Structure 1
């Protein structure tokens, strides 16, 4: 079971990293969601997947024993809920951005850079090529 989880973790991590390094805004958001899922799989794997006993400590015992650890499971459940809400909100923002700019390429969104006379942030130089 742990090998299947490790394989799923690495496949999810590789797919998320590949999509997050893309120039398409929607792919970037989906890639970041997949990276979050890979972290959830890693947390879930840390909680003893093979154990079938409930997580109850017997009277007078000091340790959990061979039961599954409920803390990683609770963390993953919470992270799934938060990650889903964040993914929905991010995709909504991306759809609004694509509708407003009619472009989904990251390099086509250079108009969002600060102006040249902005004292707080360095300006975008016109020397940068917009082509790959």
Structure 2
């Protein structure tokens, strides 16, 4: 199971890098979203996907799951949601002000 999720995280990373290198602002934003989702899966996989009881200590012994990867992922989801909303607002404002979302035209390259 960890192998499949590792492959899925790699596919998300490669798709994210491809989108980050595009010329349109929306594709760059989609690339950052995919990169954060790949990081979430990577953190979850590094925390080992094992089943067990919730980490509530009782007198009975047993396998417990580690709550730290889930806590890190929840924090990362909140941060990536904030960053995504900020990037979408900035891209919307930039497209309205400049009438384009092409990165080459926004840089002011004169050879086009």
- TM-score class, shorter-chain normalisation, is 0.7 to 0.9
Q: Could you tell me how far apart the structure 1 residues matched to 2:90 and 2:13 are?
A: 24
Q: CA RMSD in A?
A: 2.1
Provide the aligned length of Structure 1 versus Structure 2: 111
Give the aligned partner of residue 49 of structure 1. Answer: 49
Q: Which runs of 5+ in 2 are unaligned?
A: none
Q: Contact 1:19–1:30 (CA<8 Å) still a contact in 2?
A: yes
Q: Could you tell me how far apart the structure 2 residues matched to 1:66 and 1:48 are?
A: 13
User: Please, what TM-score do these two structures have when normalized by structure 2?
Assistant: 0.86
Q: Tell me whether 50-59 or 8-17 shows the greater mean CA deviation.
A: 50-59
Query: Which structure: greater helix fraction?
Result: 2
**Structure 1 counterpart of 2:79, from 63, 82, 99:** 82
Give the aligned partner of residue 7 of structure 1. Answer: 7
Q: Could you tell me how far apart the structure 1 residues matched to 2:100 and 2:107 are?
A: 11
Displacement of 1:129 after TM fit? 6.1
Q: Could you tell me how far apart the structure 1 residues matched to 2:82 and 2:18 are?
A: 22
How do 1:72-111 and structure 2 match up within 5 A?
72-111=69-108
Displacement of 1:46 after TM fit? 1.7
Q: Which runs of 5+ in 1 are unaligned?
A: 112-127
